[in-house]
Amino acid sequence: MMAKYLLLKHYRGAPAPANDVPMDRWAPEEISAHVKYMEDFASRLEETGEFVDAQALSMEGTFVRYDGEGRPPVTDGPFAETKDLIAGWMMIDVETYERALDLAAELSAAPGAGGKPIHEWIEVRPFLTAPPTITE
């Protein structure tokens, strides 16, 4: 049975990668090479039936919570520099957890500054599944 996993790429909040140059300091051709790597990776997974979806996210974001009936939502204020920020995600559907780890490791090797692999930390999160039904 296939299982879905979310592979999360972080702007901040994960351990620092080996090639720790922020993307806003990359040359245009380095960004293009990174995007092409990601697209080629996704295309290969589409061919094997393991790709579900992927999206890059902007750095802007707000935490919001409910604050009671008739009250406006509460936001966390403009402190983005202190938050864990997700750069993007890829959803995969694979046979085993080990396969999810292998794909995350490969994704971690996307090129960054100087064309060298980033070796960034990719967070692997399984989707919750329904608990087994117990019948007696």
pLDDT at 81: 58
In angstroms, the Cα distances linking 12 to 1, 17, 82, 127 are 34, 10, 9, 22
Quick one: 3-126 is in which CATH superfamily?
Answer: Dimeric alpha+beta barrel (3.30.70.1060)
Q: Is the pLDDT reported for residue 62 higher than 70?
A: yes
Share of the chain above pLDDT 70, in %: 90
The token pair that represents 37 in the structure block = 């790597």
pLDDT at 95: 94
The token pair that represents 45 in the structure block = 């997974």
pTM recorded for the entire structure: 0.82
Name the DSSP class of 129: -
Per-residue confidence at 80, pLDDT binned at 50, 70, 90? low
User: How many of the other CB atoms lie within 10 Å of CB of 32?
Assistant: 12
Considering only residues 31 and 80, tell me which one the structure prediction assigns the higher pLDDT.
Answer: 31
The token pair that represents 62 in the structure block = 């707000």
| Radius of gyration of the chain, Cα coordinates, nearest whole angstrom | 18
- 109, burial (CB in 10 Å: exposed 0-12, middle 13-18, buried 19+): middle
Reported residue count of the chain is: 136
pLDDT at 42: 97
For the chain, the average pLDDT equals: 88
Considering only residues 100 and 131, tell me which one the structure prediction assigns the higher pLDDT.
Answer: 100
Per-residue confidence at 75, pLDDT binned at 50, 70, 90? confident
In angstroms, the Cα distances linking 110 to 23, 57, 99, 121 are 12, 17, 18, 11
